[in-house]
Amino acid sequence: MKSFPPIVLVLEDGMIFPGQSVGAPGTVSGEVVFNTAMSGYQEVLTDPSYAGQIVVMTSPMIGNTGINEIDGESSKIQVSGFLTTVMCHQPSHHQCTKTLPDYLVEQGAVAAQGIDTRSLTHHLRKKGVLRGLLTTEMDEPSRLIERASRIPAIESLDLVRQGLSLNETLKRSYTSGLEVVLIDFGAKGSIKKCLEDLGVRVRVVPPDTRAQSILDDRPDGVVLSNGPGDPARLTSIIGEVRGLLGRLPILGICLGHQLLSLAVGAKTYKLPFGHHGVNHPVLDLQTGKVWITSQNHNYAVLEDSLPDGCEPLYRSLYDGSLEGIRFSRSPILSVQFHPEAAPGPTDAFPIFSEFLEMMKR
Ligand SMILES: NC(=O)CC[C@H](N)C(=O)O
């Protein structure tokens, strides 16, 4: 039987969770968050919104279908660290090209199996997100705890500008005749794909692109992507988003939704332990329908801070937090959940068609 080197997760509050290393040796740090998805670990690992975070999967066994060539949301692993109870070392799936542990090692990602993810998740639910050090380099517990307490808060990190661009140029047919600019704050590949599947030409631009240069190219609409970190620290980007308001149709997704809200003067706040999973029920306030959505965020927009002309459209049925808004005077639609799913249910795909209709009008 193969043996695995020891690894520990050390939290800033002094809790220590031992496990076995199934990735590369080394030390990583970040904000520890739990994700309740039972599948879709490849999408989670490669979602740039997770930069700066160590992800705990609550599902007890991860890796059963291995890694394939198609499900990556970007070209590399983006999470800071990855924790499971049981890691599958012998996957089975017809599209599988390598095992999850082999992928973690190849990508230099620090990861653990054998972690008591249930008690860790209970702890995070009680205390809220905590900073953690995940390391194969053993030391005195007191020294490790001291190091964990010195990890910079995610709010102080410039994660969006770490160059997470989506620049693959696939040959597609643009049957709708529409062109959108996708501002890449760490965009998941599936957002671009969903738009392209609807026949939209997508031009990806970097996070610091000026509003005027986007407007000069006269696209039919702008999509503000998902991305990592605290939205409120992105002040210059929020200023540029403000410059787009009322000038063309805009769709905001997750971080994009938060930036759009901040641009109109609303406020964001940090949730106690975030929403990370694929079964989050959201109420459509217009129709009374419930959508099951894919979610990954630690911040939310404060509903009470929305200005006039900006109405709540969706609300979380877990904690009542705001999940989407619409503007009465301009074609702007903005959602906190992930209409592109990946991983997760596709209930919210119609958000993209609704945006297309806005652009056509
Ligand atoms: N997926 C995202 O875009 C996440 C947005 C933001 N970083 C948050 O945690 O709330």
**Is there a binding annotation on residue 114?**
no
Would you say the ipTM is above 0.85?
Answer: yes
The strand pair at 201-205 and 179-183 is best described as parallel
296 annotated ligand-binding residue: yes
pLDDT digits (tens, 9 = 90+) for 20-70: 999 999 999 999 999 999 999 999 999 999 999 999 999 999 999 999 999
What digits encode the pLDDT tens for the residues 319-333?
999 999 999 889 999
Centroid of ligand 1 to alpha carbon of 129 (angstroms): 14
Task: Say which of 43, 240, 254, 280 is annotated catalytic.
Answer: 254
Q: Is 295 annotated as a binding residue?
A: no
Which range, of 35-49, 118-132, 151-165, 280-294, averages the lowest pLDDT? 151-165
Average pLDDT, the chain: 95
Q: Whose CA is nearest to atom 5 of ligand 1?
A: 255
Q: How far apart are CA 85 and CA 79, in angstroms?
A: 17
**Tell me, what's the pLDDT at 168?**
44
How many angstroms separate the alpha carbon of residue 6 from the centre of ligand 1?
Answer: 31
Share of the chain above pLDDT 70, in %: 97
Q: Parallel, antiparallel, or unpaired for β 27-35 and 53-57?
A: parallel
pTM summary value: 0.91
CA of 138 to the centre of ligand 1 (A): 32
Task: Please indicate whether residue 58, judged by its CB atom, sits closer than 6 Å to ligand 1.
Answer: no
Counting ligand 1 atoms within 8 A of each CB, the residue from 226, 259, 323, 338 with the most, and so the one to mutate, is 226
Residues of the chain with CATH 3.50.30.20: 6-152
> Among residues 234, 261, 252, which one has the least CA distance to residue 338?
252
- Residue 254 CB–ligand 1 contact under 6 Å: yes
* Residue 102 scores a pLDDT above 90: yes
Q: What is the pLDDT of residue 348?
A: 94
Distance of CA 185 to the CA centre of its chain: 11
Is residue 226 over pLDDT 90? Answer: yes
Mutational test site, ligand 1, from 80, 224, 297, 316, max ligand atoms within 8 Å of CB: 297
The strand pair at 16-21 and 6-11 is best described as: antiparallel
Amino acid at position 310, single letter? C
Beta-strand runs (E) in the chain? 6-11, 16-21, 27-35, 53-57, 61-62, 81-83, 86-87, 110-113, 130-135, 179-183, 201-205, 221-224, 250-253, 268-284, 290-301, 310-316, 322-327, 332-335
Least confident interval from 81-90, 158-167, 231-240 = 158-167
Query: Torsions phi, psi of 74, nearest 5?
Result: -155, 180
254 is catalytic: yes
CA 192 remoteness from chain centre = 15
152-186 tens-digit pLDDT: 999 999 999 875 555 444 445 678 899 999 999 99
Q: Which of 183, 251, 299, 322 to mutate to test the pocket of ligand 1 (most atoms within 8 A of CB)?
A: 299
Alpha-helix runs per DSSP H in the chain: 41-46, 100-106, 117-127, 141-149, 189-197, 211-216, 235-242, 255-263, 350-360
**Residue 251 DSSP symbol:** E
Domain 179-360 has CATH 1.20.140.150: no
For ligand 1, atom 4: residue with the closest CA: 297
Which atom of ligand 1 is nearest the CA belonging to 225? 3
CA distance 323 to 333: 11
List Cα–Cα distances, 7 to 20, 26, 63, 117, 255, in angstroms.
Answer: 5, 9, 19, 14, 32
Q: How confident is the model at residue 298 (pLDDT cuts 50, 70, 90)?
A: very high
Q: Is 12 a catalytic residue?
A: no
Q: What is the largest CA-CA distance in the chain?
A: 65
Percentage with pLDDT > 90 across the chain: 94
Kindly tell me if the per-residue pLDDT of 205 is higher than 50: yes
229 Cβ below 6 A of ligand 1: yes
Is 261 close to ligand 1, i.e. is its CB under 6 Å away?
A: no
Q: Residue of the nearest CA to atom 3 in ligand 1?
A: 226
Both tokens assigned to 352: 């993209």
The answer, yes or no, to whether residue 256 has pLDDT greater than 80, is yes
* Pairwise CA distance, residues 304 & 266, whole Å: 8
Establish whether 258 is an annotated binding residue: yes
Can you give the pLDDT at residue 178? 96
| 255 marked among binding-site residues | yes
Per-residue pLDDT averaged across 259-285, rounded? 98
- Per-residue pLDDT, 167: 45
Is the CB of 227 inside a 6 Å radius of any atom of ligand 1?
yes
Q: How many residues does the chain have?
A: 361
338 is catalytic: yes
- Amino acid 175: pLDDT: 81
The pLDDT, as a whole number, for residue 261 is 98
CATH architecture group of domain 6-152: 3-Layer(bba) Sandwich (3.50)
User: Ligand 1: does its nearest atom lie under 6 Å from the Cβ of 299?
Assistant: yes
Q: Which residues make up the CATH 3.40.50.880 domain(s) of the chain?
A: 179-360
Residue pair 20/8 in contact by the 8 Å Cβ criterion: no
Residue 337 has pLDDT above 60, yes or no: yes
> Do the annotations mark residue 229 as ligand-binding?
yes
pLDDT at res. 2:
83
